[in-house]
Structure 1
Amino acid sequence: SSFPGDKGQNTYLGNPGGLVLHFQEDKTLYHMGDTDIFSDMALINELHEPKIGIVPIGDRFTMGGAVAALACRRFFQFETVIPSHFGTFPIIDQTADKFVAGLEGSGVKVALPEIGGTISL
């Protein structure tokens, strides 16, 4: 996570924190939490091989859509990703457009649930 400073610079607020969930039928989900891209994402992929990712894309307190797509392409072999932490208040990105564009041609399915909706994985 980060916090915007007085002069517009981001002040980073600590280590990235995420959550890996292992489910029956060999499905593993990685919820990235509030984070930016970091190289140990490769280690998370190597150890847990998540096939589903919940990825922050708001671009103010987390990575933005383009960088989030880069993280997904470079460090993971996700089958499905769910963008998060966007469109909730004015100072963060309002759409997932940059994220979706960054994953075009990768074979990764982007699941965009409606607000208050559900999806099946």
Structure 2
Amino acid sequence: FEICMYLVGQGVSGDKINPGNIGGTVDCGPFTTTFVQALHSSSFGGEGGTNTYLGNPGGLVLHFPEDKTLYHMGDTDIFSDMGLINELHEPKIGIVPIGDRFTMGGAVAALACRRFFGFETVVPCHFRTFSMLDQTADKFVAGLEG
């Protein structure tokens, strides 16, 4: 919600945004989006090294009628309520951060997938975007196989 209000304050037209918050579901026409928790920070780096707080971080669950449900974890670490997200939404596709340092690393991300989800398809993300992050998905793949 806060990031949407920030964007409106920056001049983005209100009809271009569709705010929601953790636990809420928004009808997006051909699918719905449910906002779920994530463990991270949420801010925007402004001029002079200042940060603007933009609300709680979140993940998204996209429900496509008559099709598979997708869970985008967002930037996060593992947390036990991932089990509730699976129980409530039964996602079959997962987009999972594996870069380490600012999110969970590959081995922990693989543990989250194995312990809490029954994904049919997993797409690793948030790695190799800059040098501080893991540059391959090797730890993630090894963790999924082990």
Q: TM-score by structure 1 length? A: 0.73
Tell me which amino acid in the other structure corresponds to 1:78.
F
- Distance, in Å, in 1 between the alignment partners of 2:138 and 2:145 is 11
Structure 2 gaps, min length 5: 1-39, 42-54
Larger of the two Rg values belongs to structure: 2
Aligned partner of 1:5 in structure 2 is none
Between the aligned partners of 2:98 and 2:68, the Cα distance in structure 1 is 23
Give 1:92's aligned amino acid: L
Q: Which runs of 5+ in 1 are unaligned?
A: 3-13, 106-121
* TM-score relative to the length of structure 2: 0.61
The one-character-per-residue Cα deviations of 1:59-102 (angstroms, maximum 9, x if unpaired) are: 01000000000000000010010000000100010000000111
Runs (4 or more) in structure 1 with deviation over 3 Å come to none
Q: 1:15 to 1:75 in 2, by over 3 A?
A: farther
Q: Which has the higher contact order (CA 8 A, sep 6+)?
A: 1
Match of 1:55 among 96, 120, 124: 96
For 1:15 and 1:40, locate their aligned partners in 2 and report how far apart those are by CA, in whole Å. Answer: 16
SS at match of 1:18: strand
* Structure 2 letter corresponding to 1:99: F
Q: For residues 23-102 of structure 1, what are the structure 2 equivalents within 5 Å? A: 23-102=64-143
Q: Secondary structure at the match of 1:71?
A: helix
Per-residue deviation, 1:16: 5.0
Mean Cα displacement is larger for which, 15-24 or 71-80? 15-24
CA–CA separation in structure 1 for the residues paired with 2:86 and 2:63: 13
Identity of aligned residues (%): 89
CA RMSD of aligned residues (A): 1.5
